[in-house]
Amino acid sequence: MALDPSLRSRGRDAESSGADGAGAGVVLGEQGGDAWSEGRHAPAIGPWQLAFRRLRRNKVALAFLSLFVLLVVVCLLAPVYSKHIAHIGPNTNNVTGTINLNGKSTNVVSTDGVPIGPTFTSHYFFGADTNGRDLAVRLLYGGRTSLLIGGVATIIIIFFGTLIGLLCGYFRGIVDALLRPLMELIWSFPPVILGVAVGTALALGGIGPIKGNSVMIPALIIGVIYIPYLGKPVRGEVLRLREQDFVDAARLQGLGPWRIMISEILPNAASTIIVFVPMMLAITILLEAYLSFLGAGVQAPNASWGTLISDGIQYIQTVPTYSLIPGAMLVLTVLSINVVGDGVRDALDPRAQVRLKT
Amino acid sequence: MKRKTRPAAATLLAITAAVALAACGGSSSSSSSAASSGSASGSSGGKEGGTITIASGTPPLSADQGLDFTTQGTELYSVVNLPLLTFVRGVQGTAGSKIEPGLAKAMPTVSNGGKTYTFQLRPGLHYSNGMPIKASDVTYAVERDIKIPWQAASFVSAYIKGGSDYAKGKSKTISGMVTNDATGTIKINLVAPFAPIVDIFALAGTAPVPSNTPMKNLAATGTIGDGQYKWGPITPGHTYTLVKNTKFDVPGLPKGHADKIVYNVNPNVLANAEQVLNNQSDVFDAGDTLPSSILEQVKTQAADRFQAIPTNSSYYFWFSTQKKPFNNLDARQAVLAALDDRALSRLDSGFIAEDCHLIPTGIIGHSSPSSCPFHDPAGPPNMTLAKSLMQKSGMTGTAITVYGEERSPRRQWLDYFTGVLNQLGFKATEKVVNSGVYFTTIGAPSLKPTVGWGDWVQDFPNPWDFMQLFASDAGSSLNYGYVSDPHYDQTLNKLDQQPPDSVAGQWSALDQYAVNKAYYAAYGHQEFPKFYSNKLNFNSGVLSVEYQTDLTSLQLK
């Protein structure tokens, strides 16, 4: 039996009101706003549309969403900048090269090995690294790498975290007894230490068809490390939902466990999962930076914001921009994701907004 | 053409300042609390005693001289394990390569057409724990080298009679080593005349150890030795402590000044340099490169306690001649033509003197960089030639993994070299290996890597020390590319029987032959930094071509 999601959700709200009382009342209040007090009926719109409407009202979240989109677009344009503006690839060494600055030929890297600082021209806008590579180009390519790893890791977390949470929460028993300790085991390790240990080991030999220097290695490691961070809350939510009347009703209609999980429980747990998406994206990008900074993430010569910060550390006194600029990009990205994430949470969790209003 | 030297004015200033500081001598008020434990001023204006700290970026592979053969390790255990002969201490530059008797009374007598060397132990010698040193302990040490095995085990197993049988387990002892504990005589019979054997018995790896020393790597304790210092607490990979051996008394050999030397390992070489600049550590380990980011600051703020000293070292990339694509001569030569030695020098803060030859400047048989066949090492690479050779090789598009070490500037060299290979048309990817295990990783017989980075610092002043790296019998722990060339081997075996100066031209020709064959892409010889805190007497400290920092020369002001 497939229902229109909005209808099913409305049904859920109605049922929830019987189950825990407050849920439906708050949702209706949010739907109606002032209309509720005026005694008018709430407009017939679904919770997703409501959430979107609330998100649109959150100007701060929208501003940071725009910033995040801008950062992503800029990073995606890295090949264009590299080819048509800087005229140098991200991994192209140019140790003995020279550039023309103010009519004067200048070494990209001095004979004593000191790289050129920011020129604020099309060539070496943010300066060069020790190998004479254009930092601006590497910054953009590094951003692509960081975002790619964060994105892939988040997809791994969402897919496997949701799957494991659903299985543990719905079946309980032996499935829960097997999978839950596994999650607890991963959970019990500090992410950075676990990431460094596994990252260092896999960087040498790779895993299966993935080579050791592939950016998919850190993505995989980070994804696996954070699966319990979503799996455990989803499990808790599923444990709660499986006891609800609408699940019992589905069982009475003869639906099998997989059908119930996918068509009944998952849509109702979706808001919990969605709230976790930006949070996971932010922490995966940060963990990638930690690991790459420590040499256990992205492998040379590929760049990420973490490797760029690491490379620039030794020049922090003489050329601070070398590590500060990738650091700033990282901060802006994570900050924008977090603010957008807060906005999404507020939009999907009307109770939180009510609390804010009172 | 060598890298330009530092300005004469700066050198003059450094000398003047150093002389002035030395004149202040023991009255210096800047001594640390550790220094305050020192006794009266020494003859050179410094104090005896106290604690000296060394900041190093890389640990030795082991504190056990029976396994380790790294520059970091040699620096440390060469003051713990004194062999039969020793390189003169307290002398900077190539003069420090002179060999003098250590535990032996005198230089060995050579007989049997250069195939027998006889040593005589000095009387009354003792280990640091008080046990007497026996002649048979030397045999035991060499057997231990073969069994553990020592990273340079082939130095002894291949040349001493019975060495290879012992290595294969066919005999219980090395038949070519005949000792008499009562008289202290040690007779070493060789398979064939081999001139460098004198140098090998000046290496700490051949120093005697008590016969109850376990036949296993003692990484966490080191061995009981007979040198100026003995091992204190060791935390492998992190801290190595040397404590003065008060029982050491070998006439003519220095006893060392400091009571204690602490060797601290921190992979952050910049932090190490900053510590020495700020006088929080006393010695910047000579085996590390001063990062370019701090070099200018060191030159201006610490001109009186910094000096770049030329050493006999060579830096190179090696190729597996057994595997595609570098089993192809054109492919190897293309790399040599495309390599910009100037770039590799800049990545090393300018401390590399560019050269395509393996035998360094201070060693007999060195060839002028002007004879480099593919391009002038001090000039730009010959990309036209490189590309045509590459096309001829038909190896374009071959996927290869390039091995390199993690610490700076080795990783930067790897980045650069990989870039060159990709520019030539290979599909090269990097494999960065932790510095502590790099050479054991690439030397593992199971790996057989295709191409990678390597270096060699003089063990003794004989061109054989460098050229044996590419001999087919050198083993995978030295000949990483499994080069096997009968002409090369035959020439090497012929030359190693002669005193080097009598066949200097032939050594030079062998190096040139190997360059033409592109068995290695050497790119230069390095100057090492002598950089101390202002607590040390800079003039008394010696950066030796043999031991790097000569620990017996370090002295607090």
| B56-76 per-position pLDDT tens digit | 998 998 999 999 988 899 999
Average pLDDT, chain A: 84
Residues in A closer than 8 angstroms to B296, CB to CB, are 112, 114, 318
Query: Which amino acid type is present at position B502?
Result: S
The CA distance from B15 to the nearest CA of chain A, in Å, is 22
Question: What average pLDDT does the segment A313-334 reach?
Answer: 89
The CA distance from B441 to the nearest CA of chain A, in Å, is 10
Q: pLDDT at residue A31 above 60?
A: no
Q: At B556, phi and psi to the nearest 5?
A: -75, 150
Question: What proportion of chain A, given as a percentage, has pLDDT over 90?
Answer: 62
Q: Considering only CA atoms, which of B364, B339, B369 is closest in space to residue B353?
A: B369
- C-alpha B41/C-alpha B45 separation (Å) is 6
Q: Residue B18 — left, alpha, or beta (φ > 0 → left; ψ -120 to 50 → alpha)? A: alpha
Confidence band for B77, pLDDT divided at 50, 70 and 90: very high
Confidence band for A203, pLDDT divided at 50, 70 and 90: confident
- C-alpha B102/C-alpha B122 separation (Å) is 9
Query: Which amino acid type is present at position B167?
Result: A
Residues in A closer than 8 angstroms to B4, CB to CB, are 111
- C-alpha B150/C-alpha A142 separation (Å) is 43
Are the C-beta atoms of residues B356 and B523 closer than 8 Å to each other? yes
Residues in B closer than 8 angstroms to A317, CB to CB, are 293
pLDDT, position B46 = 83
Return the H-helix or E-strand segment holding B235.
strand B229-235
Please work out, in degrees rounded to the nearest 5, the angle formed at the alpha carbon of residue B153 by the alpha carbons of B152 and B156: 110
Q: Which of A91, A92, A108, A112 has the highest number of chain B CBs within 10 A, making it the mutation to test binding with B? A: A112
Q: Considering only CA atoms, which of B184, B206, B261 is closest in space to residue B228?
A: B261
Q: pLDDT at residue B369 above 90?
A: yes
Listed in sequence order, the residues at least 6 apart from A69 whose beta carbon sits closer than 8 Å to its beta carbon are: none
Alpha helices for B314-409 (secondary structure H): 329-338, 341-347, 383-393
Are the C-beta atoms of residues B377 and B3 closer than 8 Å to each other? no
CA distances from A262 to A6, A167, A226, A269 (A): 16, 11, 23, 10
- Residue A218 structure tokens: 């850190």
Exposed, middle or buried by CB within 10 Å (0-12, 13-18, 19+), for B38?
A: buried
Question: What average pLDDT does the segment A294-310 reach?
Answer: 90
pLDDT, position A352 = 52
pTM value is 0.78
Q: CB A37: neighbour CB atoms within 10 A? A: 9
Confidence band for A271, pLDDT divided at 50, 70 and 90: confident
pLDDT, position B17 = 35
| Closest Cβ–Cβ partner in A93, A111, A315 for B293 | A315
Q: Considering only CA atoms, which of B548, B461, B451, B555 is closest in space to residue B500?
A: B461
Q: pLDDT at residue B332 above 50?
A: yes
pLDDT, position A26 = 33
The CA distance from B3 to the nearest CA of chain A, in Å, is 9
| Closest Cβ–Cβ partner in B270, B419, B422 for A314 | B270
Residues in A closer than 8 angstroms to B444, CB to CB, are none
pLDDT digits (tens, 9 = 90+) for B307-322: 999 889 999 999 999 9
Q: Considering only CA atoms, which of B458, B500, B498, B456 is closest in space to residue B479?
A: B456
Q: pLDDT at residue A1 above 70?
A: no
Locus of tokens 């700033």: A328
Listed in sequence order, the residues at least 6 apart from A79 whose beta carbon sits closer than 8 Å to its beta carbon are: none
pLDDT digits (tens, 9 = 90+) for B498-546: 889 999 999 999 999 999 999 999 999 999 999 999 999 999 999 988 8
Q: Which of B1, B278, B293 has the highest number of chain A CBs within 10 A, making it the mutation to test binding with A? A: B293
Are the C-beta atoms of residues B474 and B464 closer than 8 Å to each other? no
A350-354, B130-134, B253-257: segment of lowest average pLDDT: A350-354
Confidence band for A2, pLDDT divided at 50, 70 and 90: very low
- C-alpha B195/C-alpha B193 separation (Å) is 6
Return the H-helix or E-strand segment holding B16.
helix B8-24
Question: What average pLDDT does the segment B25-35 reach?
Answer: 33
Return the H-helix or E-strand segment holding B457.
strand B451-457
- Residue A1 structure tokens: 């039996």
Give the ipTM. 0.75
CA B497 from centre of chain: 23
Question: What average pLDDT does the segment B79-94 reach?
Answer: 92
pLDDT, position A231 = 94
pLDDT digits (tens, 9 = 90+) for A56-66: 889 999 999 99
Query: Which amino acid type is present at position B304?
Result: D
Establish how many alpha carbons lie within 13 A of residue B340's alpha carbon, considering only the half-sphere containing its beta carbon: 19
Question: What average pLDDT does the segment B37-42 reach?
Answer: 37
The CA distance from A191 to the nearest CA of chain B, in Å, is 22
- Could you tell me where the beta strands, DSSP code E, fall in B45-108? 51-56, 85-87, 99-101
| Closest Cβ–Cβ partner in A95, A313, A317 for B416 | A95
- C-alpha B201/C-alpha B198 separation (Å) is 5
Are the C-beta atoms of residues B443 and B480 closer than 8 Å to each other? yes
pLDDT, position A315 = 83
Q: pLDDT at residue B167 above 60?
A: yes
> 3-state DSSP call for residue A45?
coil
- Residue B77 structure tokens: 């255990």
Q: Which residue has the higher pLDDT, B20 or B290?
A: B290
Average pLDDT, chain B: 89
* A130 contacts B350? CB cut-off 8 A: no
